[in-house]
Chain A
Amino acid sequence: MSLQTQIEILRSELSTAIAASDSEAALDAVRVSALGKKGSVSALLATLGSMAPEDRKSAGPAINGLKNEVAALIETRSEALKGAALEARLKAETVDVTLPLKPAPTARGRIHPISQTIDEITAIFSDMGFSIAEGPDIETDYFNFTALNFPEGHPAREMHDTFFMKPGPDGVKKVLRTHTSPVQVRVMQKTNEKPAASYITPAMDPPIRVVMPGRTYRNDSDQTHTPMFHQVEGLVIDKNSHIGQLRWVLEEFLKAFFEVPSVTLRFRPSFFPFTEPSMEVDVQCDRSGSEVKIGEGKDWLEILGCGMVHPNVIRNAGLDPDVYQGFAWGIGIDRIAMLKYGMPDLRAFFDADQRWLDHYGFRPLDLPTLFGGLSS
């Protein structure tokens, strides 16, 4: 058999074997059988040594050509096999990306509307230079009533359905605060005494600008009243704070809170023992539909009580009402939250119904700010 024929046969056999190799291992076996020490191509190459120089001249390139050709075929086949293997792996690793995720914890946990509303109120008043003041829920009769100019036995006390604590050995009459107004007195009072607890805001010197959110209690329960509810009290004490400024503060607050370009308020004279003059404030709204729309319409909705701090209250706090004056107001937090977010039933606020909380609650990172918007 001529060398030429031998080369042709080998080329044909090897290229068939290479093409038939379906794995790197099979291909390697072919490589060894051809190009290994005892391989068929190597054996052919070994014959060159015993050839006559002129034969070698033509046989050398031919055999080396075969060797290179086979090596190249193996390389190509190897690349192809690697590619196919990768492809197969990728195919095997394919997942259904439409499978639903487990919701992230942040997507499930919710902030209660009352907390959110307090944060919103805080954001607005911080811009006006107010700070937040607090007092205890179990309050003395003195701070809840007497210091606020509710004389003992006066019918004005009956405006509040008061929860009384059982009488204790210290003989101090205690109630669950019926409003956040006692905090006013605590903040205003002239005293060097440190508060009994660190959460209680220490007394301040005028000028005073504080808001006082908190839990309040009245012995009353029906569709629109719960025995526990939330109020935010506001207090400004300075030497010339007057009703004109009170009107401005309330209007600006309500505008910012309800996120409407304008609100129309109606101030009606009223009576609270701790303010004089006293007023109730109605906000103009549209009650024709299922929800109340603030900032439009022709109806009035009572929204808060306010007035100039009564001279007796200023006096009780140890300040001179001829020098210091100011105004205060009280708003139901639950009530304005219901109005803003269209929550119909107050009682549901305190039921811890997960469905309600998930529906009306706020995302943990929905932080109300004035720079980013109160509500998203």
Chain B
Amino acid sequence: MKFTLDWLKEHLETTASAEEISKALTMIGLEVEGVESQGARLEKFVVAHVVSAEPHPNSDHLNVCKVDAGTGEMIDVVCGAPNCRTGLKSVFAFPGTYIPGKDFELKAGVVIRGTPSNGMLCSAAELELSEDHDGIIELPGDAPVGEKYVDYAGINGVVFDISITPNRGDATGVYGVARDLAAFGLGTLKKTDFSPVASTGKSPIAPLPHQFSADEPKAIRKFAGRYLKGIKNGPSPDWLQARLRAVGLRPINTVVDITNLVSLGWGRPLHAYDADKVEGEMVLRNARGEAFDALDNKIYTLDQSMTVIADDKGPLCLGGIMGGIRSGVTDETTNVFMECASWDPDLIAQTGRKTGIVSDARYRLERNVDPALTEPGMELATRLVLELCGGEAMEPAISGEDVFPNTVVEFPLSEVKRLTGLSVEPSEIDAILGHLGFAVEGSGPTRSVKVPSWRPDVTQKADLVEEVMRMVGVDNVPKEPLPRLNHVAPLMLTTIQNRRRLARRALAARGLDEAVTWSFISNAEATRFGGGTEDRQLANAIASDMTDMRPSLLPGLIAGARRNANRGFADVALFEVGQIFLSDKPEGQHTYASGVRTGTAGLNGAGRHWSGKAQAVTVWDAKADLAAVLDALGVDIEKVQVLPEAAAWSHPGRGGRVALGPKVTLGWFGELHPALAAELDIEGPVAAFEIDLDALPEPRKKATRTKPAIELSQFQPVSRDFAFVMDRGVSAASILKAARGADKGLIKDVGIFDVFEGAHVGEGKKSVAIEVTLQPKDRTLTDEEIDKVSAAVVAAVTKTTGGDLRK
């Protein structure tokens, strides 16, 4: 909310400087967002004398002027204003001056139709002082040439811009701000004359009937109207126009300007109707689906939850939000019906949201306007109209009742110390609350505090503590250390939190960069990666490619890789550890660790190097990354199942699933399916993996951390090599399993050291060579024993694989 220092001083008797006031406002919770000198942006404009104005030789509407701007030299200026003439005093801008009304900086060296023009004579609109752009500003003949225009015109007020929190409806008027500052000790609040204005006759408009059925939402509480007869409307006086303009409002006519003055000045919105445009009876009722022509020149369709002021022809005003064009007050209006009404804040907020209308009235009424100001507000407006427009006031037309919460809080004074830690004397608490308008009763440890009508936000003890604290100053609350634990801190992280941390470090240590990508992706991407269902869609997405909660981290990572490629970096390794959404339920949220490598960005780094050829990433990179994360989390990939079951996003023959038993999938790895890569517009190859960190088994809760005793054999291990020829489709896992099972006591390890295919092993066949390591425990093995194990290995492998030993 904006207001000027002068305006504040209308309500606050104070000697405080703008700086002191600004500081105080912030410290009492009315945060100052800006303090501006109103004239600051007009600093460069000066008073100038048009010494001569001659018609432009090449134009029928331009003048070529000699202007004296106090520099001692005559300045050539081309001016197109119709009122430009020899001898005129006006406002001049030198080249380089910013023209607010045009939003540009005046250039130097301008030539207009062959004539140089070194500056500009300005209209009021160009200075954003009014809407008047019919001609340049005309100043009196005694205006001092060369003086700053802001000094001459007295446009040098200070404008405060404060931010009002939603609980402080009472501070949406300058009067309420002044009341807070006075309570803080920065001056004395000046009382407003709200006394009734005498009536000269019966009101031609009767008190408005409330036409609502019992089950309807009814936004109106009390309606106070006043018929003002025989007024003379027109532009409002300069002081009023200047005041409104200073805070960014456009003056319209005296009556409308008065309603704005009261709204901004006292936080009490009003509405004025041209009484002669009302047809038939004025009533309060809910809308019936009518179209409503509002003052913002837009047409709204009103529904039955919205209260309107209507006549025989339909809605005149959307109650508490905005008036209608049909009964708008114009310069010609002579009879005014002035409304000051109190409304249900929640229903005003609801109507505001439904229509999307943002108005000064809604802003205030949905935050609660002091119900004690309904009739006084009407009287104040009446007085102002009679003062500025003449005319006479008819009897008030009042219907309905205001709602006063009349809250009384039983307030133990010890609450202040309990919640803040600050000791404040009871007398000081009484005084602070008293200054803020609270009626404090009693003298015991618990006071009865009656909340003033303008503070409905105060309902309980903690609210009163805040009132005391903001006046004392939070910075005066002494700091006190949080007591330290009397034991070593227990575990701070849960299993999943630790897993995320370890997975991140493990992947970064493998040369992948951690990305953080959006939780929402496009529907097409989500659908392609197993999501895209309605339960995971936003009702109000911010962009069409951010509509669905991601079912996988891969689309975001692939999109990231694509952006990098588009910037000229096609070899990237990215990972993310973050949440994915299998449904909209809390249990549908899992943490995945996923990564992609593109181009040549394998474990050993991307690009060409003297030490070897750059190699394209493959499924093995993906499997190794996945294994590294599992390893960091205590799971040996050799001890879980790796199945040749590619994920939907993967190349069907170059991807696998890692599982723990038939039900639990730990993750997937593979090369991105070429068709999907094309669809996602990324150049291959792309190696990717994803791990469901929530699927890993919970570590056993052990009573002891003891590890099993280690057996260190004194005897050297022995190894034997075997090569088998078998069908191409036989999995390595089955070979290893068979070989290991041949003699579980002696065989310590089985490794595959060669795999090849080719014509000489036969069509559809492959050769697999394994090395079997035997570890004797209590003696050196004899040749016979070794031969026996070897035979067992050969038998087991050939039986399982259907292959033959290569001789």
Interface residues of A (CB under 8 A from B): 99, 102-106, 108-112, 114-115, 119, 122, 125-132, 134-138, 151, 153-156, 158-159, 163-168, 174, 176, 195-201, 215, 217, 219-221, 227-228, 236, 240-245, 247-249, 251, 266-271, 276-280, 308, 310-311, 321, 325, 349-355, 357-358, 361, 363-365, 367
The reply to whether the CB of B572 lies closer than 8 angstroms to some CB of chain A is yes
Alpha-carbon gap, A178 to B328, bound state (A): 41
Stretch in contact with the other chain, from B193-201, B477-485, B715-723, B748-756 = B477-485
Report which residue of A127, A165, A276 has the largest number of chain B beta carbons within 10 angstroms of its beta carbon. A276
A-B CB contacts (within 8 Å), total count:
293
Closest-CB distance, B240 to chain A (whole angstroms): 29
Alpha-carbon gap, A237 to B553, bound state (A): 36
Q: Quick one: which of A109, A267, A276, A279 contacts B573, CB cutoff 8 A?
A: A109
Residues in B whose Cβ lies below 8 Å from that of A112: 513-516
Alpha-carbon gap, A228 to B520, bound state (A): 9
Known contacts A137-B519, A166-B535; can you find 12 more A-B pairs with CB under 8 A? A110-B514, A111-B504, A115-B504, A130-B492, A131-B490, A165-B536, A244-B422, A271-B166, A276-B465, A277-B465, A352-B564, A353-B564
Stretch in contact with the other chain, from B25-33, B50-58, B142-150, B226-234 = B25-33
Contact B579 A352 (CB under 8 A): no
Contact B586 A136 (CB under 8 A): yes
Alpha-carbon gap, A136 to B479, bound state (A): 34
Closest 5 pairs (CB-CB, A-B): A352-B560, A244-B421, A269-B29, A271-B165, A105-B511
Contact A268 B538 (CB under 8 A): no
Alpha-carbon gap, A307 to B539, bound state (A): 32
Contact B480 A245 (CB under 8 A): yes
Residues in A whose Cβ lies below 8 Å from that of B485: 129
Closest-CB distance, A206 to chain B (whole angstroms): 14
Known: A228-B518, A269-B28, A311-B460. A129 touches B589 (CB 8 A): no
Contact A268 B466 (CB under 8 A): no
Alpha-carbon gap, A235 to B469, bound state (A): 21
Known: A200-B586, A248-B479, A352-B557. A364 touches B505 (CB 8 A): yes
Q: List 21 A-B contacts (CB under 8 A).
A: A105-B511, A106-B508, A109-B510, A109-B511, A137-B519, A153-B353, A159-B166, A163-B540, A165-B536, A166-B535, A217-B519, A240-B418, A244-B479, A244-B480, A245-B479, A245-B480, A248-B482, A267-B475, A270-B165, A271-B168, A350-B516
Contact A129 B484 (CB under 8 A): yes
Q: Quick one: which of A108, A122, A154, A367 contacts B349, CB cutoff 8 A?
A: A154
Contact B586 A197 (CB under 8 A): yes
Known: A122-B492, A352-B574. A154 touches B346 (CB 8 A): yes
Contact A165 B491 (CB under 8 A): no
Contact A197 B461 (CB under 8 A): no
Residues in B whose Cβ lies below 8 Å from that of A119: 501
Alpha-carbon gap, A240 to B511, bound state (A): 49
Contact A155 B367 (CB under 8 A): yes
Taken residue by residue from 344 to 356, chain B's Cβ proximity to chain A (1 for < 8 Å, 0 otherwise) reads as: 0010011001000
Residues in A whose Cβ lies below 8 Å from that of B557: 352
Contact B470 A277 (CB under 8 A): yes
Alpha-carbon gap, A131 to B495, bound state (A): 13
Known: A102-B604, A132-B497, A138-B589. A354 touches B535 (CB 8 A): no
Interface size class of B (residues with CB under 8 A): 35 or more
Stretch in contact with the other chain, from B107-115, B425-433, B605-613, B679-687 = B605-613
Residues in B whose Cβ lies below 8 Å from that of A249: 482
The reply to whether the CB of B640 lies closer than 8 angstroms to some CB of chain A is no
Residues in A whose Cβ lies below 8 Å from that of B212: none
Taken residue by residue from 154 to 177, chain B's Cβ proximity to chain A (1 for < 8 Å, 0 otherwise) reads as: 000000000001111000000000
Contact B534 A166 (CB under 8 A): yes
Alpha-carbon gap, A367 to B502, bound state (A): 11
Report which residue of A102, A112, A155 has the largest number of chain B beta carbons within 10 angstroms of its beta carbon. A155
The reply to whether the CB of B671 lies closer than 8 angstroms to some CB of chain A is no
The reply to whether the CB of B694 lies closer than 8 angstroms to some CB of chain A is yes
Closest-CB distance, A345 to chain B (whole angstroms): 14
Taken residue by residue from 220 to 239, chain B's Cβ proximity to chain A (1 for < 8 Å, 0 otherwise) reads as: 00000000000000000000
Contact B694 A277 (CB under 8 A): no
Closest-CB distance, B689 to chain A (whole angstroms): 15
Contact A138 B492 (CB under 8 A): no
Q: Quick one: which of A109, A280, A367 contacts B512, CB cutoff 8 A?
A: A109
Contact A268 B31 (CB under 8 A): yes
Contact A244 B420 (CB under 8 A): yes
Closest residue on chain A to residue B605 by CB atoms: A102
Contact A195 B484 (CB under 8 A): no
The reply to whether the CB of B462 lies closer than 8 angstroms to some CB of chain A is yes
- Within B515-563, the residues touching A (CB, 8 Å) are 515-520, 534-542, 546, 549, 556-557, 559-561, 563
Contact A248 B584 (CB under 8 A): no
Report which residue of A114, A132, A243, A245 has the largest number of chain B beta carbons within 10 angstroms of its beta carbon. A243
Taken residue by residue from 443 to 481, chain B's Cβ proximity to chain A (1 for < 8 Å, 0 otherwise) reads as: 000000000000000001111011001100011011111
Residues in A whose Cβ lies below 8 Å from that of B462: 276-277, 308, 310-311, 321
Residues in B whose Cβ lies below 8 Å from that of A111: 504-505, 508, 514
Closest residue on chain A to residue B346 by CB atoms: A153
Closest-CB distance, A240 to chain B (whole angstroms): 7
Contact B584 A165 (CB under 8 A): yes
Residues in B whose Cβ lies below 8 Å from that of A137: 519, 549, 579, 581, 589
Alpha-carbon gap, A269 to B468, bound state (A): 11
Alpha-carbon gap, A247 to B559, bound state (A): 43
- Within B559-617, the residues touching A (CB, 8 Å) are 559-561, 563-564, 567, 569, 572-574, 577-579, 581, 584-589, 591, 603-605, 609-611
Residues in A whose Cβ lies below 8 Å from that of B518: 227-228, 350
Alpha-carbon gap, A264 to B560, bound state (A): 40
Contact A163 B538 (CB under 8 A): yes
Contact A242 B585 (CB under 8 A): no
Closest residue on chain B to residue A221 by CB atoms: B542
Contact B573 A196 (CB under 8 A): no
Alpha-carbon gap, A267 to B477, bound state (A): 10
Q: Quick one: which of A132, A267, A354 contacts B564, CB cutoff 8 A?
A: A354
The reply to whether the CB of B214 lies closer than 8 angstroms to some CB of chain A is no
The reply to whether the CB of B712 lies closer than 8 angstroms to some CB of chain A is no
Known: A109-B510, A325-B419. A195 touches B539 (CB 8 A): no
Closest-CB distance, A253 to chain B (whole angstroms): 10
The reply to whether the CB of B274 lies closer than 8 angstroms to some CB of chain A is no
Contact A349 B516 (CB under 8 A): yes
Closest residue on chain A to residue B463 by CB atoms: A276
Report which residue of B466, B496, B510 has the largest number of chain A beta carbons within 10 angstroms of its beta carbon. B466
Residues in A whose Cβ lies below 8 Å from that of B418: 240, 242, 325
Closest residue on chain B to residue A363 by CB atoms: B508
Contact A354 B589 (CB under 8 A): no
The reply to whether the CB of B40 lies closer than 8 angstroms to some CB of chain A is no
Contact B166 A155 (CB under 8 A): yes
Contact B492 A131 (CB under 8 A): yes
The reply to whether the CB of B703 lies closer than 8 angstroms to some CB of chain A is no
Closest-CB distance, B609 to chain A (whole angstroms): 6
Alpha-carbon gap, A111 to B493, bound state (A): 19
Residues in A whose Cβ lies below 8 Å from that of B605: 102-103, 105, 108
Q: Quick one: which of A105, A242, A353 contacts B420, CB cutoff 8 A?
A: A242
Q: Quick one: which of A201, A219, A365 contacts B509, CB cutoff 8 A?
A: A365
Contact B537 A166 (CB under 8 A): yes
Contact B517 A350 (CB under 8 A): yes
Report which residue of B29, B419, B605, B610 has the largest number of chain A beta carbons within 10 angstroms of its beta carbon. B419
Residues in B whose Cβ lies below 8 Å from that of A151: 346
Report which residue of A109, A278, A321, A351 has the largest number of chain B beta carbons within 10 angstroms of its beta carbon. A109
Alpha-carbon gap, A165 to B490, bound state (A): 37
Alpha-carbon gap, A154 to B346, bound state (A): 7
Contact B421 A243 (CB under 8 A): yes
Alpha-carbon gap, A152 to B316, bound state (A): 29
Closest-CB distance, B276 to chain A (whole angstroms): 36
